[in-house]
Structure 1
Amino acid sequence: MQLARLIYASTHDGLAIEAVDRILQKSRANNERDGITGALIVGERSFMQLLEGDRSRVAACFMRIMQDDRHRDIRIILAGDVENRSFLEWSMHLINASRIKEEILSRYLIDGQFDPARMSEAAIKDLCQALSAGDWEKEAA
């Protein structure tokens, strides 16, 4: 198996939490079946998703995503082979951008917004590394 990582960004029309939950449930079931791990970061009007697994299975997963009309303006940020997974424990972890600690998120905001489609590849890699290291979530109020 050749381990691959794919990171993409897309926009959405503003999804209710129930719709995001449905995406997450379906993604987790598919990813567990296919041996894919990763994270889905949801912003106010954007998605950023990192997928890791067998190259052919990640490609098939991404093709399904491309057919999903909830995604608009899909942009591949990074795709390639890797030695190790960043998100080994997560079949698909949901990260709400508003829950990321300010000291982490503020480094990646563009015009005050989380907009992964406008972030550089280096910034995306850095953000993914910060999230995979853990301790990124704000304390509950």
Structure 2
Amino acid sequence: MLVQMIFASVAVEPDDAAVAKILTQGRSHNARQGITGVLCHGHGIYLQLMEGNRSAVNQIYAKVLQDPRHRDAELLYFAEIQERGFANWTLGHVRLEKLNASAVLKYAERLPLQLDALNGAAVRAMLLDLAATAAIAHK
């Protein structure tokens, strides 16, 4: 069963080195597990979309809940899907602060983004828009 999950968390160490390590580890692990998706970071939070086999996605999320780099993780969206929306990325990358503020505010109540104000369907729509407009980096 193919699923898509989106979660958000507070970035404990939101610096470039921590993000680079998450991306390197995530891409390697995702390639082995058949997971695709995107990691967004900025405003002190992480937003991540994962898609793949349900058990593999759930296992990764369980690890995130134990990962000291994340705090206050919240599941925003989880659904069965027919096909991948992010098949081109083992773990794409988006720096939220580099996006035009209006592109983010189209999907969020305010900036900086706050976990308690995020809507799963809106975040999913934003990520699909970013994928469609090639705003997701491969490296």
TM-score (norm 2): 0.89
State, as a whole percentage, how many aligned pairs show the same letter: 28
2:8 corresponds to which letter in structure 1? Answer: A
Q: Report what 2:43 is aligned to.
A: 44
User: Is it true that 1:95 corresponds to 2:55 in the alignment?
Assistant: no
AA aligned opposite 1:35: G
Q: Which residue of 2 aligns with 1:79?
A: 78
Question: Which consecutive residues of structure 2, in runs of 5 or more, have no partner in the other structure?
Answer: none
Task: Give RMSD over aligned pairs.
Answer: 1.6
Deviation, 1:109, is 4.0
User: Is the 8 Å Cα contact of residues 38 and 87 (structure 1) preserved in structure 2?
Assistant: yes
2:22 is equivalent to residue 23 of structure 1: yes
State the secondary structure of the residue aligned to 2:46: strand
Query: Structure 2 vs 1, CA of residues 117 and 10 (structure 1 numbering), >3 Å: closer, same or farther?
Result: farther
Equivalent-residue separation in structure 2 for 1:107 and 1:128 (angstroms) = 12
Q: Distance in 2 between matches of 1:15 and 1:122?
A: 25
Q: Give the structure 1 partner of residue 62 of structure 2.
A: 63
Aligned 1:122-133 pairs, distance under 5 A: 122-133=121-132
Aligned residues: 136
Please say if residues 10 and 75 of structure 1, whose CA atoms lie closer than 8 Å, have aligned partners that are also in contact: yes
CA contact (8 A) 1:11 1:46 kept: yes
TM-score normalised by structure 1 residue count: 0.88
